[in-house]
Structures are given as structure tokens and as C-alpha cells.
Structure 1
Amino acid sequence: MARHPEYQYLDLIEHLVEKGDRRIDRTGTGTLSTFGAMMRFDLSDGTFPVYTTKRVFWKTAVKEMLWFLTGQTNIQSLLRENVRIWTDWPLAAYRKATGAEISQEDFEAKILADDEFAQKWGDLGPVYGKQWRRWVDAHGKEHDQIAGVIETLKTNPASRRMLFHAWNVGELDQMALHPCHMTYQFYVSDMPDSTAETSAKGRLSLLVGQRSCDIGLGNPFNIAQQAALLHMVAQQVDMVPNELVWVGGDVHLYLNHIDYAQTILSRQPKPFPKLCLGRRPASIDDYRIDDFIVTGYDPHPAIDVPVAV
């Protein structure tokens, strides 16, 4: 019997606990770190790689991916979807600038209620969505990298240039957080002969390069949302999802996540759920969270893990 693919994640955590390089990091929390890791997930049978050794709130992860795809960079639209995972950075900036001891709940309420306040304090700078959909070159021209990839997949699927990325050197200092998952590259296998009469579809794979990976809090979200993206793009270009390949650079476990690590290492993975898309939207811009139909998800209980800001 094949080994459960979630063991790739558990093995990486075990390696960090046992052999990780102890480091002081940007947040001051401290980490156990390693350099260079890879995980591969086969999505060809509808598998949705949502980890099972703790409950992953996959809808929140997919909502974040849908937000990236809109090109938006303000947390107001995320908060309207009840997604709070980006609030820490603008909240910290607001407290530092004003000296106000405002609670996260009150800050989020002001963002939601006051558009002017949200415009001033809720924007994250030119983070992922801005770079993916509205990268501005030296001549002031905007580039929609997502649209470009989809067009190339339709017209030249053998291309080695089907990628988008977010590491815009000239705008890094304006971002609330530098991009962690940086490069997304697509690859098509089993391409049907365009001259033959066949209903065969190409198989679409996605490789994600991530320079920095919070293995406890970030990676479970990243894998789920990247798998969702692969399903969406495959549907838009009339292909079938194949393999999600994840490559990490500095992969780390925060020192205040050690109890988390020990807990999930004591648990046995359960079968991954399945994902199907309930409809085919007109474009990559038109997906909604209700389009993602997930069945068979029966994870171990959730674990609260603190974020390092």
C-alpha cells in the first residue's frame, strides 16, 4: 500500500524538530530551520491535499487565493469574507504609528465600517495580487501575469515560460510582507495531437517555489490554496489537474510551535478529501468559494497556532 502523501509534511516537521538549525528570525520568535525541501501531491483523481493531522480551514485558504486573483491588496474585502489572516500587519503598523492600544476586533470593525479608514490603514502595499495581475514595468505598462499564463497554456502548452511570480525588487520596501510563495510554474504532459480527432486532455502540473515557509501555520494553507489554483487553471484551459510540486527554501518551525509539532506527529493521517468544481465560470476572475465542493474531509481536531508578525 502506498504511503500516505501527508507523511511528506510530517517527515519534514520531524526533521526540523530533530535536526533543525536553531536561528533568530525577523520576528524575534526564533525558529528551527532547514534549507531545501520538496513535496509532491497527485491530484489526478480529484484528491485535494488538505492535511488531516489537524483541521485545516480550507475555505479560508481558498478565499485568500481568490482574493489574490482579484489583484486587490486591501484587507477590507478579506474581512467581508470573514478572513482575518492578514490583519496582524496593518494592525501592528497602526498601533506603532498612532500609539493606540486598539484591539484586533475593534480595528477590524473600523476597517469594515469606514472606507476612508480602510484606504489609509487597511492596505498591505503591492503584495501578491498586485504583482500577479498588475505588475508595472519600467515603462509604466501593466502586465497581467495570470492572463498571460492562461493564454500560453491554450496556445503553446509546451512552453517553458508559463510562470508568474511576485518578487518585484523595486516594490519590496512598500509591501507589508515580502512574498513567501514567489514563483508558480506550469507544465503540461500528455498533450493530445492537435491534428488528431481525440477527446484526450493534457495533464496540467504546477510547481511552486517558496523562499520562506512557516511549516506550522503557513504551509497547510499554502498547499490547499495552490491545489485549488491548479484545479481552477486546469478547468479554464480544458486540461485535467495532475501534480502539485512544492519546493521550499528556508523551511522553518517557530519555537512557539513545538507543542503543535509534537501533537501532529503523534497522529495518524486520514484519507485526503476530494475536490470538484461545481460549475465552470467564464474566466479565472469569476470563481466563488461556493464553487469548491469538498467531500470526505474528516481530520483530527484543530490546533491553535500563534502567528509570528
Structure 2
Amino acid sequence: MERGRSTSSSENLLDDFEDDYVVKSIGAFGVWQATVCVIAALVRSAAIWNMLSIIFLTPATQFVCVKFEDNATVLAQNSTCYNNCVEYMYYEEVLERTLISEFGLICDGAWKASFTQSMLMFGFLIGVSLFGWISDRFGRRIGLIISCTLNITFMLAVPFSQSYWIFNTLRLFIGMASGGTMIISLVFIIEIVGPQHREAAGSLAILPDGLAQGLLSVFAYYSVDWRMFLMEYAIASVVIYMFIVFLPESPRWLMSKDSNMSLSNDDEQNIWTQSINGCYSNCHWYYNDYPHVCATRTYWLHDPRHHRLCSNLHYIRSPLCLHF
């Protein structure tokens, strides 16, 4: 009778594993998941800065003509365009020099101010699709590193733009990289926590966006012109992006790729040894909660999900040095 109850209990336990194997192995939410979520959420800040910086780059600007052709004397009106005007003076409120005054985006060229943001958002559209595919094909971590590296490279280059069209070309690539950063970081957060915490994690992940918006005004306050403004938050982005080296690969992506499916008998024995000495020591709550799983050796050895997760578990947790 006792043996029958034990067998039934083991079968129920194995059925529970079918629900969410990753959660059963590494937990639904803890210090490790919280740390990863915070880093992934902060990475979004650079994309928010790129998207909202247009507020200070092309603000509503008043101007007046101060020089006419043939030195004609004309009583010029504020924010009025003249065909014979050869020089305008701009009234700036925050930055001493913006894209409006730098590239003369007024009168016939006024449409270029909004076109700048259109180029960025078009890049976002491309980046979301492109880096979504890259993250699915090569991994969330690889996709995030690539998008962040490209993002910071073009962000550091754009303040040195010498023409309007060079600026917009760089903004297009910045938009592509920022789109990748936005989409991958959110997927990272959703996949790293258990299903019961996904709604809360997804909602809390956008809280740093508000902080990023507030910091944007601080950057503008301490900037002289648009070049200094862009360089300030580009340098801040470098500091934030340094933390992505501590991000592990998404365990759910590793599971989905069926790695380590083909194992020899020696490999199985090694993994069995690692599961006793490695996985259980790193995930002690798992062993404490389900100690009788050790007796189900046949199940562990022939379940490829355990091979994949156990062999990658040390890799997943090692970057943050959070062994529990």
C-alpha cells in the first residue's frame, strides 16, 4: 500500500513538471530573476532617450530675419519668412543651438524637423522585426548585445554630424538598434519569470521609462547645444549597457532550441553526476522540496529537458554570481 502511494505521488510529481519545467527547475521568481529584470528594464532607457530627444532637438522656435538681400531695410516680423532674407536669428529657450538653428529647419525646410523623427520611428519598425528574428535564431542575449552595441556606436557618432542628411541617416540606424533593444528586453523579462508573474513583471518593466524621461530634461538643462545634449545621454547609455554582460541567456530560449539532445551513455552518467553535485547544490530549494525525485533516476536520465536545463543551469546563473 505504501509503495503504491509512493508510486502515485511520483507520477503526480512528474505530471507537475509538464506544466512548466523551467519554473520547476529554477523557480518562478527570486533575487536572481529580479536582478535580471532590473538590468533588462534599465537597458530600455537609451531607446527612450532616442525616441523622446526630439522634444529638445526640434522645439517650437521663434525666428526673425536680421539681414536682407542688398542690405534692404525691412521691418521684419517674428516667425515670418521672407524670400529675400539671407540670415535669420533664432530665439532658443533651453539649448543655445538646436537642429532648427543648426540646419535652418524653417520656412521651406520646416518639414525636415518632423521628418527627423519619422526616420527614427521607421528605423524602430525595421529593428523590431529584424532583431526579433535575430533573438529567435541566435538567442536573446546575443540579440540584445548586438542591438545595444550598434545603438551606442551610432549614438556616439551622431553628435558629430556635419549635415542634416548625415544626421538622419545615423538616426535611422539608431532607430533600428533601439527597436531591437526595446523588444528583446521585454521578451527577456517575460521569459525569465514564471507564468504567474509575467503580467506584473511586464508592467513593472516600463517603470524605468518614466525615470528615463525625467533624466532627459536633466541632460538638456546641463547642455549648451544639441551636440552636447546627445553626447551626454550617449555616455550615460554606455554606463547602462555595461551591465548587459552580466545577463544570462534566456532559459526558455535554451529549452526551445533542443540543445544537448543526443547524449552518449557516458554523457548521461556525467549529467547524472552533475545533477546531484551541481544542479541540486545550486538549486537547493528544488532538492529540499522534492528529495524523492533522486530515486527517479531513469526519468532524469532519459528526459532531454533535464539534460538541456541541467547542463545550462550553471551557465545561466554564473554571470550574476547568484548561487543559492
| TM-score interval, smaller chain | under 0.3
TM-score by length of 2: 0.26
TM-score by length of 1: 0.27
Q: Which structure has greater helix proportion? A: 2
Q: Which structure has greater strand proportion? A: 1
* Structure number with higher relative contact order (C-alpha < 8 Å, ≥ 6 residues apart): 1
